[in-house]
Copies of this chain bind each other. A is one copy, B any other.
C-alpha cells in the first residue's frame, strides 16, 4: 500500500499507462496495448479485436483500493494492464490468506455461481480493462478461440494453485520465501533480466499472508538469506538474487 511505483520496471508499473486517454468502441486503443499478446485478447486477430474493444472499459485504482469483494455478484472480468493486484480470502476473525499476486497481462474474475470467491485489491497504482462477463462470454459463440484461451488460463491457474498448496502445506519458512523470490523473478524476467534485481511491490505482511507466515518470520528469513550472502536487500521494495541457483535449490528442497 505504501509502494510508489518509483524505480519499478515497465512490467511492474513503470510509465506506459493506457496508451490513449479513453477506451471505447472502435477507438483502436487495443492495437497499442502493451500486454495484449499476454492476455486472452491475443486469441483474436487485430480485425476481430473490435468486438472486444466494443465492450471494454478501463479502470484505475490507487494502492489499497478494492476492485471487488468475495461474494459479490461477478458481473465483470478484468485484464490487468498496469500495476499489481492481490487476491485474498479472509476468515471471520480476520486471518487472511493471499491466494495470488497479479501482474500486467494477468486475467482476473474467473468465478462460479457463488459470485467472486475472493477479494481483489490494488497493491500499486493499477490500470485494468473491465469486461462485462455476459457480453464477453457471449463472444464465445462467434470466437470459440476466446473460450479456448480462457480455458487455458483457468488450467494454468489451477496448476499454479496446486504448486501453492504444496508450498503452504509442506515447505519450511525458508523454502517458502526462496520459492516466492524465484517466482517473482520468473514473473519479472518475462520482460528482461536485470542482474537478479527483483522489485517487491508488496509489503512484508502481504508476503506473509501469501506464504502462510507472519510478518516477523518473513523479515527474519530474508535477513538470514541476506547474511548468508544469497540475496541483497537495497531497500524494502527490492531484492537482488545474488546466487539464484542456490535460492532455487532451497526453494525446490533438493
Q: Interface of A with B (CB < 8 Å)? A: 89, 91-93, 95-97, 99, 110-112, 114, 117-118, 140-141, 144, 147-148, 150-152, 154-159, 161-166, 168-171, 209, 211-212, 252-254
Contacts and interface: CB of A to CB of B under 8 A. Distances in A.
A117 B165 CA distance: 12
Given A118-B162, A168-B168, 8 more contacts: A91-B253, A96-B170, A112-B152, A117-B163, A158-B158, A158-B161, A161-B165, A165-B165
Contacts of A212: 168-170
A247 to B, nearest CB: 16
Contact of A93 (B154, B158, B253): B253
B151 A147 contact: yes
A97 B91 CA distance: 23
Contacts of A161: 158, 161-162, 165
B170 A97 contact: yes
A83 to B, nearest CB: 22
A158 B91 contact: no
Nearest to A169: B212
A110 B158 contact: yes
B253 A97 contact: no
Contacts of A117: 158-159, 162-163
B151 A154 contact: yes
Given A91-B252, A140-B144, A112 B165 contact: no
A159 B112 contact: yes
Nearest to A90: B166
A155 B116 CA distance: 11
A97 B165 contact: yes
A169 B254 CA distance: 23
B150 A151 contact: yes
